[in-house]
Amino acid sequence: MDKNTKEQITEKEVDVYGMIGQEIDFLEYVLVILRNKYRILFVSICMATLAFIVSSFLQKEYTAHVQLAIVEPERLGGVSPESIRAPEVMTLVERGFISNVVYDNHQDRVIAKMNSQMFIQYFIEKNELLPFIFTENWDKENMHWIEEFNPDLSLATRIFKNEHCLIDINSETQLIVVGIKWDNPTKAAALANAFAKHFNEFMRTQEIQQTDKVKAFLMEELKKTKIMEMRKSIYRLMEAQLIIKVLASSKKQHTLEVLDPAVPPLEKSSPAKKKIAFFTLLGVFFFSISFLIGRVIFMKIRLMIEQYESDQVTRENKISKLDKFTNEN
């Protein structure tokens, strides 16, 4: 077989390989979709209807929101040194004990406290929410846990934070919005309002406990010293701690101020049956189209491969005949 004949066969082989990478005929795909349009619509509508019906059996939940503002640090029961004694007669130690520290990230610290496990556990216990969080393990009729179930408070905290509570802050107004999701709209609103109330109680208790610790420390220091000036300084510090404690106890809105209390929502927040049905319709619709296009592409590739294999056999036969003819001559 001469060189030119082999080159011609090689060129044909390249042409056969090029069939697989030929330009896609989009019109063919459009025609396939149009031929099956009623099937696509029927399946999509049926699946959307099924999703709508199934979502009707899901537990209904309502979300109530309360809008809050963080009380300025100066109003947190703090006492400036100048309001206790003239600054010129106070030592640096006294000023450090009496002054409340105002952090630059006060807002972040408050948000962190609201999300803290310590406060969430405090809130759950205050409102006796364990039976509602572990409802499948609670016997409502006899008011006790089923099969000696021992509720895990840490697990309850995670469930409450992930499924029932949302704390958000408006970047423009710096206002906090607390949303409580519950299966009863009245209960949702009550818990949202209680969230702010109990957080103020929680922060107030912490501040009072801190002043008590400082007072106890000062009492011990007072017993150790006989120096009159030192004793006077300690008495002034104890007086300041007493004022801080009194002011903290008298502040109703200690850390958070309620700007817009929660009211029972009129509409449920989940399940959103219309949204579920709509997205199911879209999902099935585009999946059906993708399936049809993929099926056409698969069939075309299979036909190309079959044609290529057939051409390969024909080509080998031609080469064999040419070699035989060459050998005979």
DSSP 93-130: HHHHHHSPP--TTHHHHHHHHHH-HHHHHHHHHHTT-H
Q: What is the CATH number of the domain that holds 115?
A: 3.30.1890
Q: Residue 58's pLDDT band (boundaries 50, 70, 90)?
A: low
pLDDT in tens, 127-178: 999 999 998 888 888 888 887 788 899 999 999 999 899 999 888 888 999 9
Which range marks the domain in which residue 32 is found?
3-13+26-57+274-328
pLDDT of residue 187: 92
**Do 176 and 293 reside in the same domain of the chain?**
no
Which backbone phi and psi does 165 adopt, to 5 degrees? -130, 135
Weakest mean pLDDT among 19-23, 138-142, 255-259: 19-23
What backbone phi and psi angles, to 5 degrees, belong to 188? -60, -45
For the chain, give the mean pLDDT: 78
Residue 67 has pLDDT above 80, yes or no: yes
Q: Count the helices and strands in the chain (H runs, E runs).
A: 11, 6
Tens of pLDDT, residue by residue over 299-309, are: 878 877 877 77
Q: 149 with 235, same domain?
A: yes
In a domain, 112, yes or no: yes
Same domain, 176 and 39: no
Does 39 share its domain with 90? Answer: no
Please compute the mean of the pLDDT values over residues 44-57 and round it to a whole number: 78
Q: Please tell me whether residues 42 and 80 are part of one structural domain.
A: no
Residue 236 included in any domain: yes
Q: Is the dihedral of CA 77, 80, 82, 84 positive or negative?
A: positive
Question: Does one domain contain both 297 and 207?
Answer: no
Does the predicted TM-score (pTM) go above 0.85? no
Please report the pLDDT score of residue 16 as a whole number. 42
Q: Is residue 157 one of the residues assigned to a domain?
A: yes
Looking at the structure, do residues 53 and 66 belong to the same domain, yes or no? Answer: no
Q: Specify the higher pLDDT residue, 88 or 287.
A: 287
Whether residue 21 is contained in a domain is answered as no
CA 261 to CA 36: how far, in whole Å?
54
Regarding whether 237 and 321 lie in a shared domain, the answer is: no
pLDDT of residue 323: 64
Q: What is the CA radius of gyration of the chain?
A: 38
Model confidence at 92, in pLDDT bands (50, 70, 90)? very low
267 in a structural domain: no
pLDDT category at 28 given cuts 50, 70, 90 is confident
Shared domain check, 164 and 309: no
| Residue at which a domain ends, from 225, 260, 295 | 260
- pLDDT of 231 over the 60 cut: yes
Last residue of a domain, one of 260, 295, 310: 260
- 211 and 93 share one domain: yes
Tally of domains in the chain: 2
Residue 30 CA to residue 13 CA, distance in Å, equals 31
Residue 265 counted as domain residue: no
pLDDT of residue 144: 85
Instruction: Please give the pLDDT value at position 76.
Output: 38
pLDDT of 158: 94
User: Minimal CA–CA distance to 167: which of 58, 265, 70?
Assistant: 70
Q: Is residue 20 part of a domain?
A: no
pLDDT band at 44 (very low <50, low <70, confident <90, very high): confident
Q: Is residue 43 part of a domain?
A: yes
pLDDT of residue 268: 74
Out of 206, 232, 260, pick the residue that ends a domain: 260
Considering the domain architecture, whether residues 174 and 111 belong to the same structural domain is answered as yes
225 plus 281 within the same structural domain: no
Please report, rounded to a whole number, the percentage of residues in the chain having pLDDT higher than 90: 24
Which pLDDT tens digit goes with each residue over 179-213?
999 988 999 999 999 999 999 999 888 888 888 88
Q: What pLDDT is stored for residue 115 in this prediction? A: 92
